[in-house]
Structure 1
Amino acid sequence: MPHHVPTSGACPLCHFGMDSTSHALFSCRAVKACWKETIFWRFLKQVRHMEVLDIAQWMKEKLTRMEFEFFAIRAYAIWSERLKKVHDSDSRNVVANVDWCEPLLRDFQEARKLLTYSRSLEPTNSPKTWIAPPLNHLRLDVDAAYNETSGSFAIGGVVRNDEGQPMLAFGKKITKPQSVLLAELTAIAEGLLLVQDHHLQLNQICSDSLLAVQAVTRPEEDFSYAGTFATDIRRLMCNHNSVTLSHVMRSANKVAHSLASFAISSSSSFVWMPGNFLLWVVNLVILDLDII
C-alpha cells in the first residue's frame, strides 16, 4: 500500500485483537512488558477491557498523585514509541525502552515545585541586582547553562569580595545531567570544591535556581530526586563558617551565567585568578556592580 492505509482493524504490532487506544496502551502483547515490572500491573490486569478514560479514572482512584503522574507519563512514552514502530518496517522490540520518560517526569515535577515556591515568595525576597557582601566577606555566584542546539550543559561561577572585585572565576562542561536541578546543584558543589582548593573562606553563595536553593536549605522537604547532591553540598558548606546559600534573580547573577554560557563553547575547563582574567570578564564585573 503506497500510502500506508491499513486494510484491517487488527493491531499492526501484535496482530491479535482489534486495534484501539486501550489495546495499544495496555493490552497489546508488544507493550505489556513495559507494565509488568511496575506497580501498575496489578491494577491494569483488572481493567484490561475497559476504555481509556475509564482506566484512567480507575487508576486515579487507586494511586497517589505522584504515582498517577508516573503512570500517565509512562503511557505517553509507550504511545510515542509505538507510533514510531507502527511506521517502521521493523517492529521488533516495539517499546523496549521507555525509561526516558522518568527524567521527563522529574523535570515536570521540578518545574511545578519551582512555580509553587516562586508564587510563595515576595518579589523583594530575591535581589534583582548584584549586591556586594559585607566588609571582608566573599560571595560566590554560580549558575548552569544549557545549549538546546548541541544538548551541552556547563556550569560557571565567580567569587567576589566586598568591593566587587573578582577573586576567582571558573567554568566547565558537565556530563548531561538527569535534570536541570542536578545541573544547578552541580554548579554549587563544584564552586564550593574549587573555593576550598584555593583556600578561600566563603560567606555567601547565590544561585538563580530557586529549586536548587530550596533542595539544600530545606532538608525536611521531599527532594529525594536530587540524590545525594544536596547532602554533599550541606557537608561542604560546613567547611565555611556561617556561610549562607540564597536565591537571587537572573539579573543579579549575570556574570556567573555568562561564564557558564562561555564554558559551553570553550574547548576546555578554565579557572581564572586575579592577574589572568580576560578583559570581557572584568568588563562584565564592572557593569554588574550596583552603583547608585
Structure 2
Amino acid sequence: MELRHRRHLDSTGACTICGDGMENWVHMLFECSWTAQVWAGLIYYGFPYRLAHTIPLDSQALDFIAHAPTGLRFALWFLWVERNNRVFGKPSRSPYTIVRDILSFFQWWRETRRRANMFRDGARRDSSSKTVTWNPYCCKGMILHTDGSSMGNPGPSDFGAVLRNHEGAWIEGISGNIGIADNFLAEVVAILEGLNLALARRCTTLTCYSDSQEALRLIQSASVVNHVMGGLLMNIRDRISLIGNVRFFHVWREGNSVADILARRGAKE
C-alpha cells in the first residue's frame, strides 16, 4: 500500500495483485485490473450503480465509501475482503465468483428490505386509529344505544339501553336481568327493550347503535322465520314498523359505554 511504502515497509508501493500503479484506495477498489474485471461483470449483469463518473480522488475515497448507496458499499466490502484474502495468501477466487456473490447478496438484501417494508406498512395499517365514538349531530329524531352481556356465555345475563335526543341529551335509560342466556340473546333482548322504550316516548325517527354486528345483521336480513330466535327478531321488526323510520349502526364497545354500564347494573337487579 502507498502508506506502507511511505513508511519504508514496502520497497515499491506497487499493487500486490496486478503490479501496476500505486496501491492506494482508488487503485485497490476501482482501478486495479482484477477489480476492474469485477466491476465490468457487475455492470454486465445489471448492477444498478455506474462508476465511470463517480470514481473519487484518493483523498476523498473514504468519504465516498461512507456516503455511498448501501448496495454499492456491499460491492466495495466484498472487493476489500477478497483483496485481503489474496494479499495474505488465502485461496483466490475468480472475478466471476466475486460478481456472483455480490449480486446474490445484493438480491437478498433488497428482498429482505422489501419484506421489512411490507411488515412495517402492515403494522401501520393494523395500528391505525378507528373511530369508537358516535356523533349525535349526524342524527335526526331520537338516538338509542343498547348493550347486552352474559357472565359465562351462557350464564347470568342482563341488558341495558339508553335513549337520547338528537343533541345527545339523556331522555331515559333502562336495565334488567334476563336470567341464564348467552351473549347473543342478551344483545337481541337489549335491542327489543330499547325499541319498546322509544315507542313509549312516541318516537317516530330513531337511530339505534349496538356493538353486536351479528344481531344487526339478522334484524336486517331477509328472513328469520327459521332462526332459533325468530320470534324475538319478528317482535323487533314489529317495533320498527310501529316507529316508522329506524336506522341501525354498529358501534365499538368504547362508544357504547353508557349502555354497557346500564347492562352491568341490570345484573344486580
Greater relative CO, 1 or 2 (CA 8 Å, sep 6+) = 1
Name the TM-score class by shorter chain. 0.3 to 0.5
Bigger radius of gyration, 1 or 2?
Answer: 2
TM-score by length of 1: 0.44
